[in-house]
């Protein structure tokens, strides 16, 4: 059995270690929660700053586009002079079916579309405003009538951006949700602007804005961090997750 001296020594040891153990528990519990709260505020500030940057970028590009049209009205001039007679839906469907296989060199219609005065103006705009990865205009029937390059579809009437753009007031604007453009390999926002002349709507224009540099700057500012960075969309989908080389596109939804 333990003697009186041993019991006394054990009691002293417990008394000495107990505050340390309690301190460690408190530190691990409250310190961890404090760390999480600090990290949360940091990420919230980064997200808010990124959202402000995206908003400012969109407004700046809309201003650039309106300024371009004012200085070079060849695009609205051309579209306002086009034949406004609606094209037969069967003809549109036939063009749409052949559209993926058409080339500018082999199809006179596509060549004319991409080299008319309106398209040439859009190409000049895109070359001087690098953030605009693609610019196109669809008329009031939804047909592409001008573009900086060949679009994925000829008929845009079934696209939500065109339908929303048709209902926008003059000088209005609308942006689609942030997404990843697989073909271009960039994060992008679609900026939609109605095109009008003297109160008459001519069609709807769409600027595909490359916002990849914003995310690259955000990732670069966190190169030393060991935690992983995710970009979440408002609907809960994970747009991308940071990795060692670049953001990995996820397209998945978080549980909960």
Q: Are 149 and 114 in contact (CB under 8 A)?
A: yes
- Within the chain, what is the greatest distance between any pair of CA atoms? 109
Q: Are 136 and 122 in contact (CB under 8 A)?
A: yes
Query: Which pLDDT band, with edges at 50, 70 and 90, does 245 fall under?
Result: very low
pTM of the predicted protein model: 0.73
Structure token digits, residue 227: 């935690």
pLDDT at 77 over 90: yes
- Strand 174-175 and strand 179-181: the pairing is unpaired
Q: Are 247 and 215 in contact (CB under 8 A)?
A: yes
**More confident position, 154 or 10:** 154
Instruction: State the residue for tokens 């109605």.
Output: 194
Please report, in angstroms and rounded to a whole number, the separation of the first and last CA atoms in the chain: 57
Res 176: pLDDT: 87
Mean local confidence (pLDDT), 242-248: 50
Res 219: pLDDT: 55
The overall average pLDDT reported for the chain is 79
HSE of 157, CA atoms in CB hemisphere, 13 A = 12
* Listed range (41-45, 97-101, 111-115) with the worst mean pLDDT: 41-45
Res 252: pLDDT: 44
Dump the DSSP string for 169-233. PTT--EEPPPEEETTTTEEEEEEEEEEEETTEEEEEEEEEEE-HHHHHHHHHTTTT--S--EEE-
151-166: per-residue pLDDT in tens?
999 999 999 999 999 9
User: 3-class DSSP state for residue 107?
Assistant: coil
């Amino acid at each position: 059995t333990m003697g009186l001296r041993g019991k006394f020594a054990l009691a002293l040891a417990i008394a000495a270690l107990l505050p340390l153990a309690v301190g460690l528990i408190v530190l691990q519990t409250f310190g961890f929660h404090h760390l999480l709260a600090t990290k949360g505020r940091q990420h919230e500030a980064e997200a808010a700053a990124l959202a402000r940057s995206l908003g400012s970028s969109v407004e700046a590009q809309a201003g650039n586009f309106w300024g371009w049209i004012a200085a070079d009205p060849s695009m609205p001039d051309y579209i306002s002079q086009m034949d406004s007679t609606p094209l037969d839906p069967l003809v549109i469907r036939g063009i749409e079916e052949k559209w993926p296989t058409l080339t500018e060199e082999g199809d006179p219609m596509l060549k004319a579309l991409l080299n008319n005065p309106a398209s040439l103006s859009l190409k000049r705009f895109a070359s001087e405003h690098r953030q605009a990865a693609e610019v196109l205009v669809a008329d009031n029937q939804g047909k592409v009538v001008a573009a900086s390059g060949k679009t994925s579809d000829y008929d845009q009437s079934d696209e939500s951006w065109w339908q929303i753009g048709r209902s926008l007031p003059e000088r209005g604007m609308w942006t689609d949700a942030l997404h990843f453009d697989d073909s271009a390999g960039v994060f992008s926002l679609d900026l939609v602007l109605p095109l009008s002349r003297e109160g008459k709507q001519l069609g709807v224009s769409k600027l595909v804005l490359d916002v990849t540099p914003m995310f690259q700057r955000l990732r670069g500012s966190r190169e030393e961090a060991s935690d992983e960075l995710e970009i979440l969309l408002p609907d809960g989908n994970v747009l991308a997750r940071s990795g060692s080389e670049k953001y990995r596109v996820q397209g998945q939804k978080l549980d909960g």
